[in-house]
Structure 1
Amino acid sequence: MVDRGVSTLAAPAPGAPATLLEHLRRLPWWVGVLGVWGASRLVTTGILLSFAARQGENAWTGASPGYLDFARLWDAHWYYIIAAVGYPDELPRDENGLTGESAWAFMPVYPGLVRLGMALTGDVSAQGFAAVAVTISVLSSLAAALLFFVLARRWLSAGTAMLATALFCAAPLSPILQVAYAEALHLALLLAALVLVLDRRWVALPFVVTVMALTRPSGLAFALLLVLVWLWRWIRRADDPFPTIERVRLGLAAAIAGLAGLAWPGIVALSTGELLGYIDTELAWRRPYLGDVELLPFTPWWQGAQWWAGQQWWPGPALPGLPWSAGEVLGPVILIAVLGLAAAAFALPSMRRMPIELRFWIVAYSLYLLAVFFPQSSTFRLLVPLAPVLGAIALGIASVGSGRVGGRWSPRVARALRIVLTVLALAIGIAGQVVWVHLGWWVDGYDWTPP
């Protein structure tokens, strides 16, 4: 359903000459999205290049690397290993027999496409990898921007959907969409899947979800989304018919999504002979924080909250005389407060106007993160699939001053305020990119904040 209650531009009077803005409005929607995406990529590229020029020598590149070298830091090297030589036959182990970090933590679709591109170009060097990987990411980011507009247009006016797309392209984590990471490809597949959910195309959906689930971990979360949609349709079947054939198709789509979410752990188990090989590999990344622990659902965030709050964030000696660790209490309190605020956000008018399917996705993916992931600096990257929230933010901005006939805000003041809020939101996004690249992507000596 398209929201037609928010109009950002008044129609010209009959016979009046068309303004430049009116000419722009008559262009196809994809031209506008392409312009927004292109402008945002220029800004983000400038930010990345400015940091690359000041980048010191590190484990992956020399000092002041070019763009392609700067785009293959961190986990991009794991993708290079997979694209170049594939996955190892065995899980590596340390001197204590514990499973170490390995390529098995990374799913095969993105490096598989990169491997194909490297074969076509004939360049198997690290720079050849970066050229192909970044090209795939940039093209995927364009597809994601187009699909984001299509998704937003399902429930927002054209102007508000374009504003949401601008927020999407300028978001603090948008630099991840043009480096050698799988996020851009995964996001494009996710947005395509969400469009199919809103359009109730249950036959095509499993194909997209299967590829998506083998690009980044998300299949189980999407299966939960589809279960919630099935239950919602069943409860409301008197008002919204839910015929048997659709029940079967949606149920099968949910089952296939669940199997897709379990496929990679199963492949790792069969390939290495280790039943819990994938989980053990993932746990290797959190061992520096917590030591050797097992994965118990919904405990990682509690443990992480205690660990992070227990760190000393100020110079000088730690506070003496406390009968318990401050982190054991402060961390969970902060975590509960943040989760409470996130839950309360669903009561906002713009969130209530979001299609229930998208709200189910936000809930399902958030529960998935809370169940299995450990909070660290890379957690911000894991929040990228929650991008549909930007539609609600855009609607909130576009709704400022609407419906106040005879109120204290004149249309001109309300329009000016919407412009100010739009500029402020975009500025916050761009400033957030600078902060994230500095804290996450840029390597500053012994850097313990991977993106």
Structure 2
Amino acid sequence: MAERRLTVRPGALAARVAVQPALWIGILYLAARAVTTAFLILAGSLSTPSSRFGDAPALGDLVVGWDARWYWIIAVVGYPTTLPLTDDGLVAENAWAFLPVYPFLAQTVSLPFGHWAAGALLVSLVAGYAACYVLYRLLRTRLSVIASTWAVVFFACGPLAALFQVGYAETLNLLWLFLALWALIRRRWGWLYVLIPLMGFTRPGILAFSLMLALYGIWRWVQRKRDPLPVREIIHIIATGLLAAAVGFAWQIIAAVVTGRSDAYLATELAWRRIWMPGEADFVPLHGFLEAVEFWFGRMWQVDPLVGYVLLVALVAAVAALLLWAKPVRALGVEIRLWSVGYIVYLLLVFFPQSSIFRLLVPLSPLWGAFAVPRSRIWRWSVLAACLVGQWWWIYNMYGLGNMTWQVP
């Protein structure tokens, strides 16, 4: 009888989730948010006067902390027409680094409550639930009910799960991204013409989607004998790829027109990088990662930078091998794998790796499906435990101990 119960329960759960996925995903999501709330409260209680948030901040203080404050400023004040400058004459940190969809949507939602933080929290929470549900639907095109559900659990409880409950644009952007990948898998091209601008004006990274569409077009062309590629789809692939590229550069043009400086956006982004690299004044693709090797290995750890270059090449090669050949990753389908390739290449070209790298990796969340493919219960529960440990570590460091140099989310 005991053996029969143990074999029936997973099947029964799978059947229930399959019949009412929105309900079950909602229950799991609320449970995950309760855990995150407890972690945030605990981190706040452990915060000291030396942290960014001071002694024992309230939950509301954490919601509008770090970059959330910039979104709040945008919602209330808008974007500056004149860029602020440092004493050295370089562009200082300002609102142009942040895109407008999230702050203005949060401002609209906040109107009945009288405070932007309430709207930001609601947008992040609701978008997070919707992203979980769409991720489930996205993965169900390739994986079983149980594997897709576990992937959502890992996503909702992951190390960066605090983003579901603070004033950051990540969860809203993930919703658009998951919808776009789902539309691509189902070849519902019309949706991409709406979702691409939404992504492009919510969070940076739409150029990675443009690169992914280029790779996808090449793959479809190579596979055209097994998977016919009609002219109509060729047109859509090219058009959406060009749209994503145009949207990706549009914010730079808007910033230049409004401020009168052609480099307004890139100079603003570099203002944050100068926390670690004070002398950097111009943006050059790939320069951030190469400089990071010199900075972290040479200056901070007193190790020959050559070691860092070798490790960087080895890491890129290992990630490429996993995306190309690892069976659990291959099970996710070519669209998710190509998105992962495109996004990693994008990060290598534009990002300076520091503590924010963990948050910048969140758009790779569809890869949680690969962690859910193995059927071992021990494996899945171990991954969940690792997610929760990582979540507490991240929350404690960024919201309990947070400082402007080494613990920036």
TM-score normalized by the length of structure 1: 0.84
Range with bigger deviation, 271-280 or 234-243: 234-243
Structure 2 gaps, min length 5: 1-5
Query: CA offsets per residue over residues 359-385 of structure 1, 9 Å max, x none?
Result: 110000000000011101011100000
Partner of 2:261: 274
Which of 303, 306, 309 is 1:329 aligned to?
Answer: 306
1: CA distance, partners of 2:207 / 2:87: 34
Partner of 2:329: 351
Partner of 1:112: 104
What is the letter of the counterpart of residue 222 of structure 1?
F
2: CA distance, partners of 1:244 / 1:365: 27
- Does 1:383 pair with 2:361? yes
1: CA distance, partners of 2:202 / 2:90: 26
SS in 1 for 2:406: coil
> Is the contact between residue 131 and residue 171 of structure 2 (CA under 8 Å) also seen in structure 1?
yes
> Is the contact between residue 355 and residue 408 of structure 2 (CA under 8 Å) also seen in structure 1?
yes
Cα 1:26–1:372 change in 2 (3 A) is: closer
Which of 437, 445, 449 is 2:395 aligned to?
Answer: 437
State the 1:353 CA deviation. Answer: 2.2
What is the letter of the counterpart of residue 442 of structure 1?
G
> Is the contact between residue 441 and residue 450 of structure 1 (CA under 8 Å) also seen in structure 2?
no
What is the letter of the counterpart of residue 379 of structure 1?
I
Partner of 1:372: 350
2: CA distance, partners of 1:23 / 1:225: 34
> Is the contact between residue 268 and residue 278 of structure 1 (CA under 8 Å) also seen in structure 2?
yes
State the 1:445 CA deviation. Answer: 6.2
Partner of 2:177: 190
SS in 2 for 1:289: coil
State the 1:333 CA deviation. Answer: 2.2
Partner of 1:51: 43
Give 1:30-429 correspondences, 5 Å limit: 30-57=22-49, 61=53, 63-118=55-110, 120-121=111-112, 123=114, 128-293=115-280, 294-312=282-300, 326-346=303-323, 347-395=325-373, 397-398=374-375, 418-429=376-387
2: CA distance, partners of 1:371 / 1:61: 33
What is the letter of the counterpart of residue 56 of structure 1?
T
State the 1:302 CA deviation. Answer: 1.5
Query: CA offsets per residue over residues 44-102 of structure 1, 9 Å max, x none?
Result: 11101111122234787553222111221111111111111111111111122111110
What is the letter of the counterpart of residue 331 of structure 1?
G
Query: CA offsets per residue over residues 94-132 of structure 1, 9 Å max, x none?
Result: 1221111101100000111122234x2362xxxx22221
2: CA distance, partners of 1:22 / 1:422: 15
**Structure with greater helix percent:** 2
Aligned-residue identity in percent: 36
What is the letter of the counterpart of residue 48 of structure 2?
G
2: CA distance, partners of 1:255 / 1:185: 23
TM-score normalized by the length of structure 2: 0.93
State the 1:173 CA deviation. Answer: 0.9
Q: How many residues align?
A: 402
Structure 1 gaps, min length 5: 1-8, 13-17, 314-324, 399-417
Rg (Cα) greater in structure: 1
SS in 1 for 2:276: helix
1: CA distance, partners of 2:331 / 2:18: 27
State the 1:292 CA deviation. Answer: 2.9
